[in-house]
Homo-oligomer: A and B are copies of this chain.
Amino acid sequence: MRQFVICGHEVPTSPDFSLDALASEAGRLDLLCRCLNAAFLTSHGLRDDVRVHLVLQDEFTVTVDGATVRNLHPDERSTAALVRTALEHREDAIGHQPAESSPGISIRRVGLDVVLEECARDGTVVQLHEDGEAANEVKPPENPTFVLSDHRDFTDAEATMLAETADQRLRLGPTLLHADHAVTVAHHYLDTDAYTRF
């Protein structure tokens, strides 16, 4: 299982936004939608061994499970509609219990701390960091979770949580990438078993 956690700092936690304005009034939800695309979609199908957690303003988490998700298309607009539908179900998420909004997509009232704790139990939390070990020198862990931020840097609180939970710091290359491109490169690193299997 590969997991990705993406912190969205400005994405609304209520569904009151237009699909025509993902980059503005929806707080750069377009980027999070491209992260879902990069995490799940290949040329001939869907990666079913992947789970993505979109942590919205450290308050709600929308989780997409590749094993059960349906109707996930490549374009930003239709993916954003799925996230918006999840937000429409936010009041059904009571305590830390998830509310399923569509097949394979659920929303919970939890922040980064809970998500990271769960991922650490599931496997190895990897922090992508420019001072980390070079990816070509590190064999991929078995059940990795990659933690990424949107167009904003991690907040101090998030960075602290991440530093405490992460088992590994990894440098994916010399160029600082947007989160969605980093997801693609992380998959490439894993698919090729650290650039040894093509």
Contacts and interface: CB of A to CB of B under 8 A. Distances in A.
Nearest to A181: B184
B191 A30 contact: no
A198 to B, nearest CB: 3
A77 B178 contact: no
B174 A30 contact: no
A185 to B, nearest CB: 5
Given A20-B20, A77-B76, A171 B198 contact: yes
A192 to B, nearest CB: 5
B41 A178 contact: yes
A78 B31 CA distance: 13
A190 to B, nearest CB: 10
Copies of this subunit: 2
Contacts of A19: 20
Contact of A23 (B22, B42, B74): B74
B23 A73 contact: yes
B173 A23 contact: no
A34 B41 CA distance: 13
A38 B177 CA distance: 10
A75 B135 CA distance: 28
Interface string A21-33: 0110000001100
Interface of A: 19-20, 22-23, 30-31, 34, 37-38, 41-44, 73-78, 134-137, 171-178, 181, 184-185, 187-188, 191-192, 195-198
10 residue pairs, one from A and one from B, having the closest CB atoms: A134-B198, A43-B176, A30-B75, A23-B75, A195-B195, A184-B184, A181-B184, A175-B191, A76-B76, A185-B188
5 contacts: A23-B78, A42-B178, A44-B176, A172-B188, A175-B187
